[in-house]
């Protein structure tokens, strides 16, 4: 019977290593997806009210981790009536043709003391690589997940044409999300 114990122990360890990252459900009421930029030199903030995220994450097993986020672009709000009316339109998000943005990770890496999520963002039919800084904090049976990054809006054709002047509308859009997660 004793020779069987090491085999069971090794098999049990192998299963725990192969288990992969933990899956989490996003608590939408406590979570936010925000962005900021500037218009005519004045900073403004915005958010998306409708989005979903599939999060599978383990800091010790980054190769098994994955983020998959879909954003309903028509749910954009900035608190400015004119801007909120313009952003869903053809000059910006063009939600009639491209109702969603989609980000999916292609991998994670360590950079100094930070974890970086590399992935592809598809916006207005254009797919480009995007990197986001990840701050994951386990809390009881759940966690909080904060991600930040900067996009170049013109890379995706957002605000092109007469709105391409980056002295009027900033070229950079900072994205940040705060997700409250519960274990699935």
Is 7 a member of any domain?
A: no
User: Is 80 exceeded by the pLDDT of residue 3?
Assistant: no
pTM: 0.87
pLDDT in tens, 102-154: 999 999 999 999 999 999 999 999 999 999 999 999 999 999 999 999 999 99
* DSSP strand pairing (66-72 vs 114-123): unpaired
Is 9 a member of any domain?
A: no
- What is the Cα–Cα distance from 170 to 164, expressed in whole angstroms? 9
Is 51 a member of any domain?
A: yes
Is 123 a member of any domain?
A: yes
Is 14 a member of any domain?
A: no
Which residue range forms the structural domain that includes residue 66? 21-183
- The CATH code of the domain that includes 159 is 2.40.128.110
Is 120 a member of any domain?
A: yes
- What is the Cα–Cα distance from 45 to 29, expressed in whole angstroms? 19
113-150 burial code (b ≥16 CB/10 A, e <16): eebbbebebbbbeeeeebebebebeeeeebbbbebebb
Is 12 a member of any domain?
A: no
pLDDT in tens, 68-86: 999 999 999 999 999 999 9
Structural domains in the chain (count): 1
């Amino acid at each position: 019977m004793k020779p069987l114990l090491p085999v069971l122990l090794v098999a049990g360890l192998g299963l725990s290593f192969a288990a992969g990252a933990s899956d989490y459900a996003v608590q939408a009421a406590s979570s936010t997806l925000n962005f900021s930029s500037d218009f005519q030199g004045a900073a403004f903030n915005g958010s998306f009210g409708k989005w979903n995220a599939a999060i599978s994450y383990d800091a010790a097993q980054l190769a098994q981790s994955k983020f998959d986020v879909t954003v309903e672009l028509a749910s954009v709000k900035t608190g400015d009536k004119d801007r909120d009316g313009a952003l869903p339109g053809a000059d910006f998000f063009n939600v009639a043709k491209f109702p969603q943005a989609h980000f999916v990770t292609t991998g994670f890496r360590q950079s100094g003391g930070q974890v970086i999520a590399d992935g592809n963002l598809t916006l207005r039919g254009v797919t480009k690589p995007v990197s986001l800084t990840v701050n994951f904090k386990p809390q009881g049976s759940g966690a909080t997940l904060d991600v930040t990054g900067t996009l170049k809006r013109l890379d995706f054709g957002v605000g092109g044409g007469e709105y391409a002047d980056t002295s009027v509308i900033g070229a950079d859009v900072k994205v940040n999300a705060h997700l409250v997660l519960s274990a699935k």
